[in-house]
Structure 1
Amino acid sequence: MARLRGVLFDVDGTLVDSTYFHTLAWWHGFRRFGHDVRMNEIHRRVGMGGQKIVEHLLGPERDASEDQEILDTHAAVFSTFWPHLRAFDGARALLRQCKSAGLTVVLASSARQQDLEVLRAVIGADKAIDAATSSADAKESKPAPDILIAALEAGGLDASEVVFVGDAVWDVDAASAIGIPTVGLASGGYSAAELEDAGAVEVFPAPRELLDKFASSEIGRRLGG
């Protein structure tokens, strides 16, 4: 495996504590059209693209003419939570640590551009970020690897020389599809066991713990290799 040159980061649930806000926003979107979808079921799909969330939770027999309005409702409700978004402890410092180690840092986000701008402001580490993607950069959402392919292109990187940091099994699936190892963070609600079973090479509770063990992590080991 090539020496590490870059790190790709998921954002929602990985760097910013937003997963449960997304869950609630989706719940409102479904309820608007009378769909009684349990929040725990919604949470298990957060990390997928919006259209895939609707398809998986409502199924093929749904009235697909409602899809776009459900998506729009999710977006509108989520925007009301923008003032409450917070970066996880250690997230900002972790990005800066990667940058100071000489790594290219890319936010491999599939968030809408409007949301991404808010998320970046919440993180507050733009000087450590070399590139970022949004939903407009991928034809297929996770677990398809399109957004990671776009992130590699944005950072001028190859899959063999990066590590991906993400919080959902869909992140691990997407990265595995193109041969990128994933360092999992349990900060989005998936357990360490679930992330390891999906194929994460290691799992930390949250950004702070990864930062504290940076030198011995997959990132640190690859840097020294």
Structure 2
Amino acid sequence: MALVSPLLHQMTIRRMDHSRTMDSMRPGVLLLDIDGTLVDNTAQHIAAWREAYAALDLEADEEILRKQIGKGGDLYVRAIAGEDWDRRFGDEARKLHGDAYKRRLGEVRPVEGVTDFLAGLQKLQIRPVLATSSNPDEVAANLRVISEAPEHFLIVDRDDIETSKPAPDAFALALERSGARPNEAAAVGDTRWDGESARKVGLRFFGVQTGAGTEDELRQGGAHQVFRDLPALLAFLRR
């Protein structure tokens, strides 16, 4: 029978303990996406984009639109219609989308369990920081849906960053403003684009199946774990 030296045995235990600690370590800060993560508005965004494209004589497939949800308008239009079309019609498409989304705000609902989730973070002394590619008006409107006010949060929105997700800008700036190090925080979102953005900053990413992304897509985006909803994520954080 092979013998393991005491030193090697101790090194192995330390590596195992370190891995277990990194996997289970409770973050002090959670960088939260908003659309599709805290508010249930994926269908409204897809419908608004379809309306915007139709007004500009472009037919857009719903599944293609869904897969790109999570990117900001600066990258979304280009991903759907190409760079040339974006240069010619992108600004108008983004305005049309914004107007169409505002008309649908009455249909938007809170994601299941969001109120208890935010209250649970407070009890766990986990600071929520909002990191989104949406503009400030949409952020304020979405927070009203969940009966929250912008002043209750540290927020990074489209006006604060140069490039939207999956670029790292939103999560990187939110992390910087929070004062946390990457190993003290984690990101939460509903699309692979959130995950790709988080990975570029060195953050753990928890995917939630509350919006546009499927489990496979969230894992493709680098999710350390995928949760079916916010209550499941909160239960994990409580362990």
> TM (normalized to structure 1)?
0.89
- The CA deviation at 1:62 is 2.2
Q: In terms of mean alpha carbon deviation, does 205-214 or 40-49 score higher?
A: 205-214
- 1:18-52 residue CA offsets vs partner (Å, 9 max, x unmatched): 11111111111111110111111111111001021
- The CA deviation at 1:128 is 10
Partner of 1:201: 224
Q: How many pairs does the alignment contain?
A: 216
* 1:165 maps to which of 160, 185, 188: 188
Query: Is 1:5 aligned with 2:37?
Result: no
Counterpart Cα distance in 1 of 2:118 and 2:151: 6
CA contact (8 A) 1:15 1:87 kept: yes
Q: Which runs of 5+ in 2 are unaligned?
A: 1-21
Partner of 1:22: 45
Counterpart Cα distance in 2 of 1:22 and 1:103: 30
Letter paired with 1:107: L
Counterpart Cα distance in 1 of 2:181 and 2:95: 35
- 1:81-131 residue CA offsets vs partner (Å, 9 max, x unmatched): 112211111112111211221122101122111111111111224599441
Counterpart Cα distance in 1 of 2:41 and 2:88: 28
Q: Secondary structure at the match of 1:107?
A: strand
- What RMSD, in angstroms, separates the aligned Cα atoms of the two structures? 1.9
- The CA deviation at 1:203 is 0.7
Query: Is 1:118 aligned with 2:163?
Result: no
Q: In terms of mean alpha carbon deviation, does 135-144 or 207-216 score higher?
A: 207-216
CA contact (8 A) 2:78 2:86 kept: no
Partner of 2:118: 95
- 1:58-98 residue CA offsets vs partner (Å, 9 max, x unmatched): 11342622111100000000001112211111112111211
CA contact (8 A) 1:105 1:128 kept: no
Tell which structure's C-alpha radius of gyration is larger.
2
CA contact (8 A) 2:189 2:195 kept: yes
User: Following TM superposition, where does structure 1 have runs of at least 4 consecutive aligned residues deviating by more than 4 angstroms?
Assistant: 125-129
CA contact (8 A) 2:36 2:210 kept: yes
State percent identity of aligned pairs: 28
> TM (normalized to structure 2)?
0.84
* 1:148 maps to which of 151, 171, 189: 171
Counterpart Cα distance in 1 of 2:39 and 2:145: 8
Partner of 2:64: 41
Letter paired with 1:32: A
